Structure 1
Amino acid sequence: MTRFIVIFLLCMGIAPFLPGLLESRMETLGGGASSTAYEEADTGERTYRISRDRSGHFVADAYLNGQPVDMLVDTGASYAVLPQSVAEHIGIFLTESDFKYPAQTANGTVYGARTLIDSLRIGSIRLRNVEAHVLKDASLRTPLLGMSVLNELRRFDMSGGTLVLVQ
């Protein structure tokens, strides 16, 4: 009976780490979306490739503070921009008074909140303390991967319907 209790306690101790271990193992085996790929070159560069989707956009499979978030790559956005519901999903909680910074959007001026994303991962690319803005859900439906992320990379370029990010 004691053996079963010890095994049970060991399993309970390992359970919280299992998703991260499985995710890293899937990356090692080459799992993931077929429209994206990442690699680490002999130079130590971390590369992530994104194929254009059916609507002509580039959508990155990102992990923000460990949570999966699809982000539309937008070089016209100065910052990574999140809808409030996505910010809350990744652990960023704001008050009404935080929404005091004007932002120009296609639909006019809205007010957003400034914040930092503790960790952002796209394939093998990893960034810390990424500047971001949060807008109310009514003002933004899709998270944007803007220049506050792209400027942290060594380079990014597009050719043949593929966007290549290099860290």
Structure 2
Amino acid sequence: MHKAFWLLLGLLVSCTAWAQQVQLKGLFGDSAMLEIDGRQRILKAGQQSPEGVGLIESTTSYARVRVNGREQKLTLDAPIAASYAQAERAEVRLMGDSRGHFNTDAWINGMRVPVMVDTGATALAINYPTAQRLRLNLNGAKRIPVSTASGITSAYLINLSSVTIGGIKLHNVEATVHTDNFPQVVLLGNSFLGRLDMEQQRGVLILRARN
């Protein structure tokens, strides 16, 4: 009986460990936000959570974790380890910086570029050098007046084939291409954000795809 008891207990512990749920919620340089069995943890590379999940590496596109002695590579579009179940709606979580800005990387027409969330911008705003790097076609694009911190200037109004953040991908996104170096970083405006559900929780901006 004594031996059978410890064998049963060992099996229960093993089953509990295997059922551990780990989701990637955000990537911030060498840190990552993980949701472990429903609890959010922010870990730096090399740290381990109280639940025993270790963050091995964090990049701009994925996190490598150790769960129950096994290494797993997590991405925002396929975030769940252990169960490998897909989330109902694609979700991205962004942590604000010291100034309260939300920055991340986006893929515009398949090319990666840094962006900053700007709910005050009507459309996704791109400076001219970035537009050239992205090889955006401005031939025949409509010129419109736009208001900036320096005053009124002009910009090209175009539609982007696709804009992707984490597991959220939208097609035919309106954007403005300014004729100078403004803005310094691509502004993720409401032509993208307005097609998502957004909320903030304790300084974290949550973007969710709509069904």
Look up the match of 2:125. 81
CA distance in 2 between counterparts of 1:110 and 1:101 reads: 8
* TM-score (norm: length of structure 1): 0.72
Q: How many residues align?
A: 137
Q: Which has the higher helix share?
A: 1
CA shift for structure 1 position 98: 4.4
CA shift for structure 1 position 100: 2.3
* TM-score (norm: length of structure 2): 0.58
CA distance in 2 between counterparts of 1:69 and 1:26 reads: 16
1:162 partnered with 2:182: no
1:102 corresponds, among 140, 145, 168, to: 145
Question: Are the aligned partners of 1:80 and 1:147 in contact in 2 as well (CA < 8 Å)?
Answer: yes
CA distance in 1 between counterparts of 2:150 and 2:169 reads: 32
1:141 partnered with 2:184: yes
Question: Are the aligned partners of 1:65 and 1:91 in contact in 2 as well (CA < 8 Å)?
Answer: no
1:116 partnered with 2:164: no
What letter matches 1:158 in structure 2? Q
Question: Match of 2:132, SS?
Answer: helix
Which runs of at least 4 in structure 1 moved beyond 3 Å after TM superposition?
25-28, 37-43
CA distance in 1 between counterparts of 2:128 and 2:169 reads: 23
Look up the match of 2:89. 45
Q: Which structure's relative contact order is higher, taking Cα pairs within 8 Å and 6+ residues apart? A: 1
CA shift for structure 1 position 151: 1.1
CA shift for structure 1 position 56: 2.1
**Larger radius of gyration, structure 1 or 2?**
2
What letter matches 2:198 in structure 1? F
Question: Match of 1:69, SS?
Answer: strand
CA distance in 2 between counterparts of 1:106 and 1:135 reads: 13
What letter matches 1:159 in structure 2? Q
Q: Which has the higher strand share?
A: 2
